[in-house]
Amino acid sequence: MDEDEFERQIKEYEDMMFGLMLYQETSPEWAKKAQEWHYKNMKRRGEAALKEAKSLQLNMKAEKTIQGKIKFFEWPIILKEMRFRIDVMLASYKSLFPERPREKSLSKEEKNALQNDAMKRIRIEDIWR
């Protein structure tokens, strides 16, 4: 894997972690409570992997041995059904708020808009795949 591919993977995983946060924030309260442990665990693993990947990326230019390390770098697995939810939330967010800074907290109205848009994107067949 070359540096450009590794950088692309970092950006993609950052998007997934952001989508995971969007999914959690827009979930009903009962679902948040039921999924809290899993969400925190996925978030912790994802953030640790991103930190390690960014560290490798920073050191890549200085050390030739880093290139060998990125060959064996593995991202934490995100289950297919969770990846589907993350992808739907990301698509909704990018469609509704293309220029919005990700660091800014979502308002209640923005969360509702995300939920509504995500529901429009999901077909019944998708739910059972």
> Could you tell me the pTM of the whole model?
0.77
Q: Are 100 and 33 in contact (CB under 8 A)?
A: no
pLDDT at residue 108, as a whole number: 94
Q: What is the pLDDT along the chain (129 residues), one digit of tens a residue?
A: 677 888 999 999 999 999 999 999 998 888 888 889 999 999 999 999 999 999 888 887 666 666 667 777 888 988 888 898 899 999 999 999 999 999 999 999 999 999 999 988 887 546 555
Q: Are 117 and 26 in contact (CB under 8 A)?
A: no
Find how far residue 19's CA is from the centre of its chain.
Answer: 4
97 token code pair: 């708020």
Closest CA to 96 of 121, 125, 76, 73: 121
Q: Are 10 and 50 in contact (CB under 8 A)?
A: yes
